[in-house]
């Protein structure tokens, strides 16, 4: 009860900082977060079990050991950082913590505010001050710009409350490598680099398990990040929509929904949904299928099932993988056209995967695979990828990253890719085409009459309300107005409200999606 009252008191006080002030001048100063004892203390000082109970109504699962949830992929023998404020104080004392340093924190997901406020209070109880600030724009540059020299920081914060919806376990750990393009927090560490490099070339499940176990054990001891909790996602459907038995999956990524078979009972044959454009239609180099236009305006070489396992061909009619895992050959489907009528060819595939790694902020899971290709060759309707090393994630990459039209984008410099006018009304080969874009208001997608899969459903248009990776603040309002038929949701509070409404079904999708704290260990 005492702990519960402390949580509620912290929420009432709401010690929210307004501005994070940078140190004056250009002189570097020591970073106390470089001391592993300080990082361990911060973890011990958080009562995550109580936060999950009191703030999240047990809709999420507390994390005490690893970014990887309990199960077959979590390593054995990890230290459990359950709430222990006395241990935290001991570690801080050993590290010489005098309480004068104020941790500068940032976050970008609104539904973390209460959690961060309570953590601020827990840390204050062990003598650690923390101020925090919500970031809303230019997140890639503000959060994930790497150190220019491997010593000094390129970002203006000490910790970041964030999350990773992982496609592979490598997405957690590759970014901690000293050469990672989005590593803004972990200083170069040869031992950790070697562990990550071993995991990158592990092909069999046994080798992958051993490699990722070793990384977890190392990071559990050294606390490069502080895992907080694992959050599921939810798919909401209305009574107007019949998905024909297709199961919901992780809508952060692409999976085979068979949307052309869905039926809607609205007179206008329009499906109302979220993940539409706010300020622009986002390209898929960073998030491959978070937004509807990324997933169904474009196609991929392969399909994936609801678990995100690659299955059969999509733009690829067939594919072959060599015995050593280093060569993959795709036979491209004949007769496919881009939405502007131009023919889709194997050259589009080759160009796309040569271009993606050059785009600022491109997803590192994808670029790690593609950058290992020593050759991408085209022979008629066949495109072959030859890798220097076995690539266990290659088929996953080809089921997630959309093929782009070379004839529209080949003259666009990578640094201008996200701002190019192409993204005002992009064209793909997918089952739906961009019809109308009213930025910040709505996006309308229209069924592609020349798509190579006919489908049996009756949906002619999709009306997309704007929402972001951080969530959809208007989801409840739209649902109450009977203007939502399908929605992807990551907010447990909204889910509880939707569950109480008539005419809506909420399906929980368990995903590898931890919320955690990035700890900046570079010099300031």
Q: What is the DSSP letter of 315?
A: S
Domain-located, residue 498: no
Q: What distance, in Å, lies between the first and last C-alpha atoms of the chain? A: 40
Q: Which of 250-254, 260-264, 492-496 is the least confident region?
A: 492-496
pLDDT digits (tens, 9 = 90+) for 127-150: 999 999 999 888 989 999 999 999
Domain-located, residue 260: yes
Which CATH number belongs to the domain containing residue 280 in this structure? 3.40.190.10
Domain-located, residue 506: no
Specify whether 117 is located in the same domain as 145. Answer: yes
Other beta carbons within 10 angstroms of residue 502's beta carbon come to 5
16-27: string of b/e by CB count within 10 Å (b at 16+)?
A: ebeebeeeeeee
d(CA 126, CA 110): 26
* pLDDT given at position 171: 83
Specify whether 198 is located in the same domain as 57. Answer: yes
Number of domains in the chain: 2
Specify whether 246 is located in the same domain as 220. Answer: no
Residues spanned by the domain of 147: 2-20+28-231+513-519
Specify whether 302 is located in the same domain as 177. Answer: no
Domain-located, residue 206: yes
pLDDT digits (tens, 9 = 90+) for 333-373: 999 999 999 999 999 999 999 999 999 999 888 998 999 99
Specify whether 45 is located in the same domain as 169. Answer: yes
Specify whether 250 is located in the same domain as 392. Answer: yes
Specify whether 319 is located in the same domain as 223. Answer: no
pLDDT digits (tens, 9 = 90+) for 145-164: 999 999 999 999 999 999 98
Domain-located, residue 219: yes
Q: What is the DSSP letter of 75?
A: P
Is the pLDDT score of 231 beyond 90? no
Specify whether 247 is located in the same domain as 394. Answer: yes
Within 8 A by CB and 6+ apart from 33, the residues are 39, 103, 158, 159, 519, 520, 521
Specify whether 390 is located in the same domain as 477. Answer: yes
Residue (of 169, 211, 207, 203) closest to 325 by Cα position: 203
Is the pLDDT score of 15 beyond 80? no
Give the number of C-alpha atoms closer than 13 A to the C-alpha of residue 203, restricted to the C-beta side: 11
pLDDT digits (tens, 9 = 90+) for 436-477: 999 889 999 999 999 999 999 999 999 999 987 767 889 999
With the CA atoms of 358, 363, 364 and 365 taken in that order, what torsion angle do they form, in degrees rounded to the nearest 10?
Answer: -130
389 φ, ψ to 5°?
Answer: -130, 160
Domain-located, residue 505: no
Domain-located, residue 198: yes
Specify whether 481 is located in the same domain as 417. Answer: yes
Name the pTM for this structure. 0.70
* pLDDT given at position 364: 83
Output Rg (C-alpha) for the chain, integer angstroms. Answer: 24
Share of the chain above pLDDT 90, in %: 74
Domain-located, residue 508: no
Specify whether 92 is located in the same domain as 196. Answer: yes
d(CA 311, CA 220): 34
| Cα angle, residue 442 at apex, residues 438 and 284 outer, rounded to 5° | 90
Specify whether 296 is located in the same domain as 411. Answer: yes
Which CATH number belongs to the domain containing residue 207 in this structure? 3.10.105.10
């Amino acid at each position: 009860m005492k702990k519960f009252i402390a949580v509620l008191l912290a929420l009432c006080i709401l010690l929210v900082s307004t501005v994070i002030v940078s140190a004056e001048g250009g002189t570097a100063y020591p970073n106390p977060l470089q001391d592993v004892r300080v990082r361990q203390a911060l973890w011990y000082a958080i009562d995550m079990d109580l936060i999950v109970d009191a703030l999240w109504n047990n809709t999420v699962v507390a994390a005490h050991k690893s970014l990887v949830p309990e199960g077959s992929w979590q390593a054995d023998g990890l230290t459990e950082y359950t709430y222990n404020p006395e241990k935290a104080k001991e570690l801080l004392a050993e590290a010489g913590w005098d309480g004068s340093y104020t941790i500068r924190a940032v976050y970008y997901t609104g539904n973390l505010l209460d959690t961060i406020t309570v953590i601020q209070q827990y840390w204050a109880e062990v003598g650690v001050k923390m101020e925090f600030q919500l970031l809303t724009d230019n997140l890639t540059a503000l959060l994930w710009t790497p150190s220019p020299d491997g010593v000094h920081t390129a970002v203006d914060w000490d910790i970041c409350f964030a999350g990773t919806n992982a496609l592979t376990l490598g997405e957690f750990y590759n970014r901690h490598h000293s050469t990672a393009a989005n590593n803004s927090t972990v200083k170069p560490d040869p031992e950790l680099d070697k562990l990550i490099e071993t995991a990158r070339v592990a092909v069999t499940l046994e080798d992958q398990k051993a490699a990722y176990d070793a990384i977890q054990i190392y990071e559990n001891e050294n606390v490069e990040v502080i895992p907080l909790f694992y959050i599921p996602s939810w798919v909401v459907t209305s009574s107007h929509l019949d998905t024909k038995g297709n199961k919901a999956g992780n809508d952060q990524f692409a999976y085979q929904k068979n949307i052309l078979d869905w039926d809607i009972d609205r007179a206008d044959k329009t499906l109302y949904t979220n993940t539409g454009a706010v300020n622009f239609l986002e390209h898929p180099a960073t998030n491959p299928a978070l937004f509807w236009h990324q997933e169904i305006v474009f196609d991929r070489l392969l399909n994936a099932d609801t678990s995100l396992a690659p299955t059969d061909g999509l733009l690829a009619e067939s594919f072959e993988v060599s015995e050593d895992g280093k060569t993959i050959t795709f036979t491209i489907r004949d007769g496919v056209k881009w939405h502007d009528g131009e023919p889709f060819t194997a050259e589009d595939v080759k160009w796309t995967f040569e271009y993606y790694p050059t785009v600022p902020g491109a997803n590192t899971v994808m670029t790690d695979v593609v950058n290992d290709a020593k050759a991408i060759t085209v022979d008629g309707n066949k495109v072959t990828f030859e890798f220097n090393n076995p690539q266990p994630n290659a088929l996953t990459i080809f089921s997630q990253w959309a093929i782009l039209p070379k004839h529209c984008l080949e003259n666009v410099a990578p640094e201008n890719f996200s701002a190019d006018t192409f993204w005002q009304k992009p064209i793909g080969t997918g089952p739906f085409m961009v019809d109308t874009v009213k930025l910040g208001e709505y996006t309308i997608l229209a069924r592609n009459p020349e798509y190579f899969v006919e489908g049996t459903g009756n949906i002619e248009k999709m009306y997309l309300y704007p929402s972001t990776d951080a969530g959809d603040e208007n989801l409840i309002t739209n649902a109450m107005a009977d203007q939502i038929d399908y929605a992807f949701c990551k907010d447990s509070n909204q889910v509880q409200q939707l569950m109480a409404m008539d005419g809506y079904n909420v399906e929980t999708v368990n995903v590898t999606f931890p919320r955690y704290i990035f700890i900046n260990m570079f010099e300031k």
